[in-house]
């Protein structure tokens, strides 16, 4: 009995990339023949969005041959009033006392609420008393794991409130296979639970903020096997830094074009072009390079590229620099070493000449 676990889709009316990520998760769930797709909070970006998007969600989740289990998160916990219909084979965990059965497994959940640590610990104790330790128990949780030392930006744009903070030790007495969590966006991350089992954040399946760089993941769990990080073919951010080489005669624009072409099809790139180039060797000015980079960019770029390059032809053509260079070429240093020394020289000349 396999379960595909995700969280933090933040669906909104105008965010087609997030809907595409949901479609990808649904088809992945089918391909892995799972019994359940669990969404551990923040399926919708906002309660009001849920009101508009319920019918579209029914269509998206409708086709699968598996059960979808949704946990309310801090962004959408007011969206799941009882009696609402989210789709065939879709259950919402609206109460910690009412788990969902998935074949032999029991899926418990802590719907998001502002709650003190003491009350959360008390609630988990009551939950433990209700759990049958002979069954596979899973707990869906949406909030901050205090043992993890994240920065605020790792959760998306959340300001300074703490969202249902918990410690691994709170789960110690629960007979759990997994805590399948949400709220932490940056990346897939897991921890051993003190009483056995694992706590896992899958990371957002589609980038929500700029910090969500790298290929997005979902989490596949099956009994008796290690959890599996599954790479998703969804929109995400990437930092790309191009370091120019002042001794190269290859066009920087060709290099940048090649790197952009090789990037993931769904990547949105933050591009930095930095370092030195020899404009007279390339027949290129700083202005021409800047305009060339801007014209290359197109759809793959997430924002304005950072142009941190310098044409250093005035240094490389300086007589004194050339004397240094020819002396250096006569030495027995390795080509790599020579190049590093020359870069140091360029830097030294830049300071002297300005
Ligand atoms: Mn959240």
Residue 157, pLDDT > 90, answer no
Hey, which residues does 199 pair with through a beta bridge?
179, 191
Q: How far apart are CA 69 and CA 101, in angstroms?
A: 10
Q: How far is the CA of 74 from the centre of ligand 1 (A)?
A: 5
Q: How far is the CA of 63 from the centre of ligand 1 (A)?
A: 27
Q: What is the pLDDT of residue 64?
A: 79
E-strand spans in the chain?
3-6, 36-40, 67-71, 90-92, 100-102, 105-110, 137-142, 178-182, 189-192, 198-201, 217-221, 228-231, 236-244, 267-277, 306-311
Q: What is the pLDDT of residue 63?
A: 72
Q: How far is the CA of 76 from the centre of ligand 1 (A)?
A: 9
At residue 265's C-alpha, the angle toward residues 263 and 268, to 5°, is 70
Q: How far is the CA of 254 from the centre of ligand 1 (A)?
A: 41
Residue 155, pLDDT > 80, answer no
Q: How far is the CA of 142 from the centre of ligand 1 (A)?
A: 7
Q: How far is the CA of 44 from the centre of ligand 1 (A)?
A: 10
Q: How far is the CA of 146 from the centre of ligand 1 (A)?
A: 15
Residue 165, pLDDT > 60, answer yes
The single-letter DSSP state of residue 159 is: T
Q: What is the pLDDT of residue 352?
A: 79
Q: How far is the CA of 351 from the centre of ligand 1 (A)?
A: 49
Residue 299, pLDDT > 90, answer no
- What are the pLDDT digits (tens) for 183-234? 999 999 999 999 899 999 999 999 998 889 999 999 999 988 999 999 999 9
E-strand spans in 183-226?
189-192, 198-201, 217-221
Q: What is the pLDDT of residue 307?
A: 96
Q: Which whole number is the average pLDDT over 22-42?
A: 96
Q: What is the pLDDT of residue 223?
A: 82
Q: How far is the CA of 204 from the centre of ligand 1 (A)?
A: 10
Q: Greater confidence, 88 or 6? A: 6
Q: Greater confidence, 165 or 296? A: 165
Q: How far is the CA of 163 from the centre of ligand 1 (A)?
A: 8
Residue 160, pLDDT > 70, answer no
Q: How far is the CA of 316 from the centre of ligand 1 (A)?
A: 53
Q: How far is the CA of 329 from the centre of ligand 1 (A)?
A: 59
- What are the pLDDT digits (tens) for 320-341? 999 999 999 999 999 999 989 9
Q: What is the pLDDT of residue 51?
A: 84
Answering whether pTM is above 0.85, one says yes
Contact 171, 179 (CB under 8 A): yes
Q: Which whole number is the average pLDDT over 83-106?
A: 94
């Amino acid at each position: 009995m396999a379960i595909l676990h995700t969280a933090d889709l933040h669906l909104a009316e105008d965010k087609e990339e997030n809907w595409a990520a949901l479609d990808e998760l649904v088809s992945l769930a089918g391909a892995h023949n799972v019994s359940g797709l669990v969404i551990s909070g923040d399926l919708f970006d906002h309660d009001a969005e849920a009101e508009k998007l319920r019918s579209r969600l029914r269509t998206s989740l409708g086709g699968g041959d598996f059960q979808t289990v949704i946990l309310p998160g801090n962004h959408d916990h007011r969206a799941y009033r009882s009696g609402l219909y989210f789709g065939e084979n879709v259950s919402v965990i609206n109460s910690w006392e009412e788990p969902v059965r998935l074949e032999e497994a029991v899926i418990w959940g802590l719907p998001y609420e502002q709650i003190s640590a003491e009350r959360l610990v008390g609630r988990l104790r009551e939950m433990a008393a209700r759990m049958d330790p002979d069954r596979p128990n899973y707990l869906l949780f949406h909030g901050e794991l205090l043992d993890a030392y994240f920065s605020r930006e790792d959760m998306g744009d959340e300001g300074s409130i703490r969202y249902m903070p918990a410690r691994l030790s709170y789960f110690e007495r629960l007979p759990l296979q997994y805590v399948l969590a949400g709220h932490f966006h940056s990346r897939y991350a897991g921890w051993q639970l003190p009483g056995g089992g694992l706590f896992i954040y899958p990371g957002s399946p589609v980038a929500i903020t700029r910090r969500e760089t790298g290929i997005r993941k979902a989490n596949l769990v099956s009994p008796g096997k290690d959890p599996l990080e599954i790479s998703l073919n969804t929109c995400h951010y990437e930092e790309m830094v191009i370091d120019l080489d002042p001794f190269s005669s290859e066009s920087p624009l060709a290099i940048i074009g090649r790197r952009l072409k090789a990037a993931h099809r769904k990547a949105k790139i933050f591009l930095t072009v930095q370092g030195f180039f020899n404009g007279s060797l390339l027949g290129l000015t700083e202005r021409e390079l800047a305009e060339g980079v801007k014209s290359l960019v197109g759809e793959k770029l997430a924002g304005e590229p950072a142009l941190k390059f310098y044409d250093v032809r005035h240094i490389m053509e300086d007589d004194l620099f050339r004397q240094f260079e020819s002396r250096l070429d006569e030495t027995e240093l390795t080509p790599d070493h020579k190049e590093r020394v020359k870069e140091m020289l360029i830097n030294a000349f830049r300071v002297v000449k300005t």
